[in-house]
Structure 1
Amino acid sequence: MTVATTLIPGLDDIVRNGDPKLRAEAARRIAELFLQDAAHLRPKHVDLFDEILVDLVPHAELVARAELAERLSLIANAPPVLIGRLARENEILVAGPVLRRSPVLGEDALLEIARIKGQGHLLAISERPKLSADLTDVIVERGDREVVRRAAGNAGAMFSESGYNELIKRASQDGVLTLAVGQRGDLSDVRLKQLLAGSIDVVRHRLHDVVKPERRNAIKLAVAEITGVPERFESKRDFVPAQRIILALREAGNLNEAALLGFAKSHRYEESVAALAAMSGVKISTLDNLVSGDRFDPILIVGKTIGLEWATVRALILMRLGPNRVPAPSDIESARVNFARLMPSTAERVVGFWKTR
């Protein structure tokens, strides 16, 4: 550490007795020195940097610590004790980069952090290039909806038998998670059938559309075994009868929000989509693809454009899920807040784009 002490005279005294500003400045300069020479440092030199930086870095400002964590997360021989300290910080801006990608952070440390830290730390861990089954067990047990979705969509994640059981259980109440799990390359046909058994028709069709072609036949076979009826995924909904109903309502001057609300509450999908198409000017085929997707956003956007009340938008969201499924209260509240915040001008621009499709 001769170079470091030459660079910063009185370093020992700064470490022991210096004020926070002096320590922060020393941390910045020594970290920069390490980052410049990291590729050429021997392990014993890394340890020397580590010993000093762990005493200095905590006194640096949040932005400086976050920037240092970002840079160190990419270095294979980053100071291990410092990396551990950064990963355990409560500030996710600091811990996040290290948890996401640092090759220095070991399995034991990751497990410890996953068991005691909050959702931000779990989300960062779920984005690592590789996740062991032990880690995903903790993630699936403790993680919220977003965390579990991210882990399920991570191709480098491994899941134990119990982990998969919990994933499929949670997917029965989460269409987005169903799509993520259904596209996993390590999902067996038996697990696929369990996954589909807990899903609704719109999610099954969506999954069929997004999986690799070789997986589609397995989905058809699984649904046939579940329902006892061969499923024709290629067939489209027949909107002709619904269009006739909507045309008659329009000619009678009765095509309005009250009629749409009635269709939605009765879970009459074709009539609801046909009514939305007539009221918004967007093609039925376009709206069908949008509404039957894995997000509520299209309903919020078209609803805002034609001036629907929240009660009608909420009924359309529930209709989209089917008569036997109810979204999580937090999802409904999030949709309500997003609908309230959505500017009509923004919604109109999006709908204008849909009309050109």
Structure 2
Amino acid sequence: MIETNLINFSSLDRDPTSDRRNELMRSVAALFAVTSEKCSHEEIEIYDQVLGRLADMVEVEARAYASAKIAPLRRAPENTVRRFARDDIRVAGPVLGLSPVLNDVDLLAIADGFGRDHLAAMAGRANLSEEVTDLIIERGDPDVRRTIAANTGATISACALQVLVDQALADVATATALGNRPDTPDGVIADLVQRASAEVRRAFMARGLDKDAEVIAGASKVAHERMSNSYWIGLYDFETAWARLLQLGGSKNMSEALLVRFAMEDRFPEAVAAFALITSISLEEAKHWLVRADTDPFLTVAKAYGFRYQTIQALLKVGPWKHRLGNDARTAALNTYLTLDARVARDKFASYMQTRRVG
């Protein structure tokens, strides 16, 4: 564990060479990378402060090293990650491509405010919501769009798909990528075969309609992983969010308005923790119920507590549900909520809680 008062920042600042600062940055980042899962919320905040101060004092190579170390971590210093994401692309690249700490609010701001290199780094993320994907396609160049086309974790809207199809008409790589996507509609494939250039048609017929077995196997594996609740749960740091809300007073200071704010800001771990505190279920129950494709348990609890329709609408667009639920599934869930009898929901939830206490 590292304490801020053990580092003499004034002395570091006066050092005429950067070697000592750079080495300290590397050491702190490496230490955090191997201890992050064991750190408390308070310890992560201390690391965040130290790394943030060092980031202002070190060269880009040291920041890039630190970024690569913390980028894949589920539990990472949030302020430092967000600072790195807006840095030189050598620093920003790792966190933009990998960090689960960055949410849609962060990604949209960066996609709107930074250039091609930052867009390219984001385009390969394991999961991209429709809104972020749309903006990357809108602002990106052909290479960025090729990356999106090949990224099966990117949710592509109908409008964005049309942009990719237009590029694919004369671009073999984009056409091949669209042909290998498991979610590309058959009608789009048929349209490409008919309208594309001769070169694209040859490549597309060879790889799009007679797909490589290894490509299919890889796509199937990704699709299977995304069907797993554990896959989505593993992306988020619920423990830190829980500790943070407990510090703010726990259930006595939770409200539906705060829950909606977390949802609107795409702060999924905080939304899950707040939902658990408001409804008196465990964090473990909440995180499982708010990632699963079957939304019935969540809807039952929400109805039992009388959450507003708008709250449910916001929560169904946050975290994994913005990836796992299509528009039809989201609409069906909202209709279910509207028609669900509150008394039946309360009885069902009370029965569940009683069973849990007896068990």
Instruction: Please say if 1:104 is aligned against 2:104.
Output: no
- The whole-number CA distance in structure 2 between the counterparts of 1:117 and 1:98 is 15
Match of residue 142 from structure 1: 139
Distance verdict in 2 for CA 1:45–1:124, change over 3 Å: same
Aligned mates of 2:102, 2:3 — CA distance in 1: 27
> Which residue of 2 is the match for residue 206 of structure 1?
203
Deviations 1:218-276 (A, max 9, x none): xxxxxxxxxxxxxxxxxxxxxxxxxxxxxxxxxxxxxxxxxxxxxxxxxxxxxxxxxxx
CA distance in structure 1 between the aligned counterparts of 2:56 and 2:170, rounded to whole angstroms: 42
- C-alpha distance in 1 between matches for 2:41 and 2:189: 47
Query: What TM-score do the two structures reach when normalised by structure 2?
Result: 0.53
Letter in 1 for 2:95: V
1:24-54 superposed Cα distances (whole Å, 9 cap, x missing partner): 4543443344234222101221112112321
Partner of 2:159: 162
Inter-partner Cα distance in structure 1 for 2:40 and 2:153: 31
C-alpha deviation, 1:105, in angstroms: 1.3
Structure-2 residue corresponding to 1:82: 80
Structure 2 match to 1:45: 43
- Percent identity over paired residues: 33
Which residue number in structure 2 is paired with residue 120 of structure 1? Answer: 117
Q: Which residue of 1 aligns with 2:242?
A: none
Q: CA deviation at 1:62?
A: 1.8
For 2:208, the aligned partner's letter is V
Residue 233 of structure 1 corresponds to: none
Query: What residue number does 1:292 align with?
Result: none
Q: Give deviations 1:88-145, integer Å, cap 9, x for gaps.
A: 11x2111111111111111111111111211111111111111111111112111111
Go from structure 1 to structure 2 and tell me whether the alpha carbon gap of 1:214 and 1:120 turns closer, same or farther (over 3 Å shift). closer
Contact 2:25 2:62 in 1 (8 A): no
In 2 relative to 1, CA 119–169 (structure 1 residues): closer, same or farther, beyond 3 Å?
A: same
| Alpha-carbon offset, residue 155 of structure 1 | 1.4
Confirm or deny: 8 A CA contact 2:178 2:184 kept in the other structure.
Answer: yes
Deviation at 1:196, TM superposition (A): 2.8
Structure 1: segments with no counterpart, 5+ residues: 216-357
Counterparts in 2 of 1:1-357, with a 5 A limit? 3-6=3-6, 8=7, 10-11=8-9, 13-14=10-11, 18=14, 21=18, 23-89=21-87, 91-211=88-208, 213=210
Q: Could you tell me which amino acid in structure 1 is paired with residue 128 of structure 2?
A: L
Q: Is the 8 A contact 1:78 1:104 kept in 2?
A: yes
Q: Distance in 1 between matches of 2:211 and 2:33?
A: 47
| Structure 2 residue ranges without an equivalent (≥5) | 213-359
Amino acid at match of 1:48: I
Instruction: Tell me: CA distance 1:46–1:2, structure 2 relative to 1, closer, same or farther (3 Å).
Output: closer
Tell me the SS of whatever aligns to 1:59.
coil
1:188 and 1:132 mapped to 2: Cα distance?
A: 19
Letter in 2 for 1:94: V
CA contact (8 A) 2:193 2:205 kept: no
Q: What amino acid sits opposite 1:119 in the alignment?
A: R
Shift of 1:5: 2.9
> Is the CA contact (8 Å cut-off) linking 2:3 and 2:46 kept in structure 1?
no
RCO higher in structure (CA 8 A, sep ≥6): 2
